[in-house]
Every structure is written in structure tokens, then in C-alpha cells.
């Protein structure tokens, strides 16, 4: 996953030295916790990863192509993956992990699924890209439209970032307004207007959160704390008739797992309607993840526009935005709002998406994900409490998270109360036990149809052990 507005701050402040119980303390400069000395660790040998990452750092900024992969929040260096299958990953040193990152969400049926691979093979025989319309686009479009309540027409792009950029331009084109509201701790890809650090004030004028983002790009971005009804009301009052769109993650996954308060989404639906502002659900993460129709189906709240990504690409690069027909008809070439893509609607990506959606549409998918994910979170939270740690957690469908604080966590400020050092120790402890969690406490976790009850039991047993040690 790409860096978010919040993650810029976090990586800058978090990496204190992880004090792993069985690992000698080292200087925080180059290779920290992960450079396991074979003499002190009985479990993980990461020599090849260390060498490869050292080389990578000379070749690519920070050694990675997306910042959170660099493990900066957990004070170490990443593990290079060699292969994945089902719910398992193997690193280049041969260590095996139960994976709860799932490529940051797409792997909902498990990695490298045989049927998906076979379908990809068939499509590939016909070519990898046409630069012209193909039947597969119709098929995936029909599947998305019939699944997601708000979507009557859809435009495929190549990433969630692109989807959010398109939806933003469309909302501005449709309403004729330029201001937007976003919530602190919500991530909508790395386009300039979304890279805004939320201030403490209610209607804080957006200040760019990354060098290189011009003030003009974020000038129209207003921010509010998530789940804060009155902050939203005040922004609408102070900017009457000027707000094009309100963007949000209907369940936050990019500052850890934070569900909306009861009535928060219906409140947003009501206030945006009253103000002729488009309500945009960024369902890049939650789409097909909480339920087949996403958060909007789960909560019964229909936005005007929806962005998708991750799962609908089945592990290949895809994004999409869609909504009511009258709005979508503004997109070129049907209408005047320009947006294009050389590889958009790519046959391989469409194929992986179609096969993935076919599988999760089968009855029982979300009951199963909800069951195993509930057991996982309950098991981890109970194990933590039993060992005397402050911990809270939650899940919906196959998406989950926990924080090292008593809670409740309703927004990013609450999330930041989580004990960062403890998370770092927990993360490395679990890794040594063969469990791969997101390398930041401000990321949601994901299960898949390939996780079995046995995998969940093993994970909880590992957590019990690690909680006693940290």
C-alpha cells in the first residue's frame, strides 16, 4: 500500500529501537531488529533478505516501491517474498508465514488460486493488452454494477489512487464546486489533493503533508476527525454551497481498523444531500471485503460515487469508480470530464477480477470470513488481556484490527494512543512464530477463504506465547 498522509508522520516519529527480548540491541541506522543474528534467534534466518534489501536500497528509494513495505514503523528491514499460495507466504530464505496482509487486501480467496491462474493462462494466450475494448470489460463491469448498490455505470482504471483522482474530478465537474471534505486518518491514494494532514481545528485549511504537493492542490481540502458529527456540521455551515464532495472510508482501514459510529454514515448521507454535495465512499479496501456489495450494502447507506480497487483486480493492478448514470455520463467520451488510461480495462486484470468475484459470490463466503476473523480477533484480544496488556480490537467480514490501548478507538487521535513500542515487539514476536502481520499498527489486517480454523488456532497460540514474552 502506498504511503498515506498519516503514514508520513508516523514513519517519522515511530521508529524507536524495538527491544526484542531475544535480540541484541543495535544502532537504529541501517539494519535494526530484523537483522537476526542466527546465534540469538532460533527461528528466523533472514540473511538473503538482508543482502537483497541492502542491494535494493541502492537501486530504489528506500529499497521499495511503496513506503509501508519498508518496515519503517516496526524499526527493521523488510522480508523479501519468494512465493505465495493460499494463506501462506515464503521468503527468499525459505521461512514460511501465515499471511494476514493478503497483498494489502486483494487476496480474499487466497494467493495464487489455481482457478485464477488457469484463467489468466488462457487469457494470456490471446495477448496481454489490446488498447481496444474487449468482452472481459463488459463482464467485470456487469458484475460490479450488479453487486454494488450505488454503481449504475463504472470506469476501470489501474489503481485505487487513480480511482479516487477520477472520482474527485468527476464530483467537481458534476457539482461545479471545488472544495472537498476528507477525514483525518483516511487514505484515498497519493494524489495531491488528498495528501492533507488534518489540523486540530474543525475547518482547518488543508496544508500539504508531503513536500512537492503545492499549497494550491490542497487548498480546497477541508478535514475533520472521523466519527465527529459536529465537526462535519460546522464545515458545511462555514462553506455553504461550496463543497463538491465528501470522501471517506466507510470503515477506516488506513489508520488501523476503525468502524463508523452508529448513525455516522446515515448522518453523512443526510447532510451531503441537504447541501448538494456528493457523498463518495472510498471502498478500495472495503469493497467486496465486508460483504459482496461492500460497506454500502453492509450498512444500507448508498453514496453517490464509489471507488474500488484491490479485490476487483484479484491481485493485478485495477481500480474503478462508479455511481449514478447521470453523474457517470459526464466522463469522457460520453461527457466532457477527461480521464484516460493506456492499460485500463486490461484483459489480464479483468480476468483475475472476474474469477475472484465469481468465487466470493458463492454462498457462505462472508459468513465464513466473519466467523474465522471474529475468532481470530477475539482470540488475540483475550490472549493479550490475559497476559495483562491493554488491547482492543474489532472486525467486519474479513477485515480486522487491534490496538494496544483500552479503547474505544473512534478516530485517528484515539488510534495514536496505541502503545507503539508494544506493537513493535508483538510484530517481531509474531513474525518469529511464523505469522506475518501488517508492519504498522495503523493498517488493517485481512483474512481469506484460504485461512482455515487451524491457521487461526495456530495464530492465537502464537499470540498467547508472544504476549507472555513482551
Angle at 186 between CA 56 and CA 17, to 5 degrees: 45
3-state per-residue secondary structure call for 397-453? CCEEEEECCCCCCCCHHHHCCCCHHHHHHHHHHHHHCCEECCCCCCCCEECCCCCCH
Which CB, 281 or 428, lies closer to ligand PLP?
A: 281
Radius of gyration of the chain (CA): 22
The backbone torsions φ and ψ at residue 312, rounded to the nearest 5 degrees and listed phi first, read -70, -5
CB of 453 to ligand PLP, least distance (A): 28
Q: Which of 242, 214, 386 is CA-nearest to residue 222?
A: 242
Question: Among residue numbers 228 through 257, which ones bind ligand PLP (CB under 6 A)?
Answer: 249, 253-254
Known catalytic residue: 57?
no
Residue list 64-103, contact with ligand PLP (CB under 6 A): none
Q: Would you state the cell numbers that stand for residue 211, as one nine-digit string? A: 513536500
**For residues 448 and 102, is the Cβ–Cβ distance under 8 A?**
yes
Q: Residue 160, interface with ligand PLP (CB under 6 A)?
A: yes
- To the query of whether residue 187 is one of the catalytic residues in this protein, the response is yes
Residue written as grid cell 443526510: 270
Please say which residue, 395 or 422, places its beta carbon nearer to ligand PLP: 395
164 near ligand PLP, judged by CB under 6 A: yes
Binding to ligand PLP (CB under 6 A) within 306-335 occurs at 309, 319
Q: Give the residue, chosen from 93, 137, 282, 370, that forms a contact with ligand PLP under the rule CB under 6 A.
A: 282
H runs (alpha helix) in 275-395: 294-299, 325-328, 347-361, 365-386
List the Cα angle 301/261/147 in 5-degree steps. 30
179, 310, 416, 422: the catalytic one is 310
Q: Is 284 in the site for ligand PLP (CB under 6 A)?
A: yes
Under the criterion CB under 6 A, does residue 161 sit at the interface with ligand PLP? Answer: yes
User: How near is the Cβ of 78 to ligand PLP at its closest, in Å?
Assistant: 17
Q: Grid coordinates in use for 261?
A: 459510529
Residue 310 appears among annotated catalytic residues: yes
Task: Say if strands 435-436 and 96-99 run parallel, antiparallel, or are unpaired.
Answer: parallel
Q: Does 159 bind ligand PLP (CB under 6 A)?
A: yes
Q: Which three cell numbers stand for residue 365?
A: 463466503
> Which of 53, 100, 174, 187 is close enough to bind ligand PLP by CB under 6 A?
187
Instruction: Tell me which stretch binds ligand PLP (CB under 6 A): 206-214, 280-288, 430-438, 449-457.
Output: 280-288
Comparing every residue's Cβ against ligand PLP, the nearest one is: 160
Q: Does 2 bind ligand PLP (CB under 6 A)?
A: yes
Check binding of 182 to ligand PLP (CB under 6 A): no
Contact residues toward ligand PLP (CB under 6 A) are 1-2, 159-161, 164, 187-189, 249, 253-254, 282, 284-285, 309, 319
- Enzyme catalytic residues: 187, 282, 310
Amino acid at each position: 500500500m502506498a504511503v498515506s498522509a498519516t503514514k508520513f508522520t508516523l514513519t517519522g516519529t515511530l521508529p524507536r529501537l524495538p527491544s526484542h527480548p531475544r535480540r541484541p540491541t543495535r544502532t537504529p541506522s541501517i539494519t535494526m531488529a530484523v537483522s537476526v543474528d542466527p546465534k540469538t534467534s532460533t527461528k528466523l534466518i533472514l540473511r538473503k533478505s538482508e543482502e537483497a534489501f541492502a542491494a535494493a536500497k541502492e537501486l530504489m528509494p528506500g529499497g521499495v516501491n511503496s513506503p509501508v513495505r519498508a518496515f519503517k514503523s516496526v524499526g527493521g528491514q523488510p522480508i523479501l517474498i519468494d512465493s505465495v499460495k493460499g494463506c501462506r507466504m515464503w521468503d527468499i530464505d525459505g521461512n514460511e508465514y501465515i499471511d494476514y496482509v493478503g497483498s494489502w487486501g486483494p487476496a480474499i480467496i487466497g494467493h495464487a488460486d489455481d482457478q485464477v491462474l488457469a484463467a489468466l493462462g488462457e487469457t494470456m494466450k490471446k495477448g496481454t493488452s489490446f488498447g481496444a475494448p474487449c468482452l472481459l470489460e463488459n463482464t467485470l463491469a456487469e458484475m460490479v454494477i450488479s453487486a454494488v448498490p450505488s454503481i449504475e455505470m463504472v470506469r476501470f482504471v489501474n489503481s485505487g489512487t487513480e480511482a479516487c483522482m477520477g472520482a474527485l474530478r468527476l464530483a467537481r465537474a458534476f457539482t461545479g464546486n471545488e472544495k472537498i471534505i476528507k477525514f483525518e486518518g483516511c487514505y484515498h491514494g497519493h494524489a495531491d489533493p488528498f495528501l492533507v494532514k488534518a489540523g486540530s481545528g474543525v475547518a482547518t485549511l488543508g496544508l500539504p503533508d508531503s513536500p512537492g504537493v503545492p499549497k494550491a492542490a490542497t487548498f480546497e481540502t477541508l478535514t475533520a476527525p472521523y466519527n465527529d458529527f459536529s465537526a462535519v456540521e460546522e464545515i458545511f455551515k462555514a462553506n455553504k454551497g461550496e463543497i463538491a464532495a465528501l470522501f471517506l472510508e466507510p470503515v477506516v482501514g488506513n489508520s488501523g481498523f476503525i468502524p463508523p459510529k452508529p448513525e455516522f454514515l446515515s448522518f453523512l448521507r443526510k447532510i451531503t444531500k441537504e447541501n448538494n454535495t456528493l457523498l463518495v465512499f472510498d471502498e478500495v479496501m472495503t469493497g467486496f471485503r465486508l460483504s459482496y456489495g461492500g460497506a454500502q450494502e453492509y450498512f444500507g447507506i448508498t453514496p453517490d460515487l464509489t471507488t474500488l480497487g484491490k479485490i476487483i483486480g484479484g491481485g493485478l493492478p485495477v481500480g474503478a469508480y462508479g455511481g449514478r448514470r447521470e453523474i457517470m455520463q459526464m466522463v469522457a467520451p460520453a461527457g466532457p470530464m477527461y480521464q484516460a488510461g493506456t492499460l485500463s480495462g486490461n484483459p489480464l486484470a479483468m480476468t483475475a477480477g472476474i474469477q475472484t468475484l465469481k468465487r466470493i459470490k458463492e454462498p457462505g463466503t462472508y459468513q465464513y470470513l466473519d466467523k474465522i476473523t471474529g475468532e481470530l480477533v477475539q482470540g488475540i484480544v483475550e490472549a493479550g488481556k490475559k497476559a495483562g496488556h491493554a488491547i482492543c480490537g474489532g472486525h467486519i467480514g474479513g477485515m480486522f484490527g487491534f490496538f494496544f490501548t483500552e479503547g474505544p478507538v473512534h478516530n485517528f487521535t484515539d488510534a495514536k494512543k496505541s502503545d507503539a513500542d508494544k506493537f513493535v515487539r508483538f510484530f517481531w514476536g509474531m513474525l518469529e512464530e511464523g505469522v506475518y502481520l501488517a508492519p504498522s499498527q495503523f493498517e488493517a489486517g485481512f483474512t481469506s477463504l484460504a485461512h482455515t480454523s487451524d491457521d487461526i488456532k495456530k495464530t492465537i497460540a502464537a499470540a498467547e506465547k508472544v504476549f507472555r514474552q513482551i
